Amino acid sequence: MLKSLFHRQTCLLNRHTASRLTSTSFSSNSTKDASKQDNGNKSIKDRLKHTVKVYGVTATIFHSTVYVCSLSAVYVGVRNGLNAQELLTSWGVDTNILPDGAGDIAAAWAITAVTGPARGLLTIIGTPFVAKMVPSR
């Protein structure tokens, strides 16, 4: 169930990102908006690097906040009975990254590490919105 949910979310995020990055409705006067047009064929990693380059500290803080929130939520889930081995197996991930007897924080980290691409997409999509809300100097 979670695997299909994450797959659906990733597909929706990819579609949304692709439509935003290839749209021709951007203003040619804005360097940030104009630079988005060149991201259509880049990997998530390259798009994330570009987002950090364009938005700087705002993107870094946003991404770090998403990471800490993800790790915390997964940790609470593991502490309350979420079976990390079964979850990772259902996602098709080799469970050797999580040795037997690993603590709750290690299990939470392993699950959070697997969700990295989704967090990257969230940062790519969310940072421009956050940057508009943050007052500029």
pTM of the model: 0.64
The answer as to whether 118 is a domain residue is: yes
Domain span including residue 115: 2-23+50-133
C-alpha distance from residue 135 to each of 31, 130, 131, 132 (Å): 18, 10, 8, 7
Residue 37 inside a domain? The answer is no
pLDDT in tens, the chain (137 residues): 445 545 555 555 555 445 444 443 333 334 444 344 455 677 888 888 898 898 888 899 999 999 999 999 999 999 998 888 888 888 888 877 777 777 888 889 988 988 888 998 999 999 999 888 887 76
d(CA 98, CA 91): 14
Number of domains forming the structure of the chain: 1
Position 9 in a domain: yes
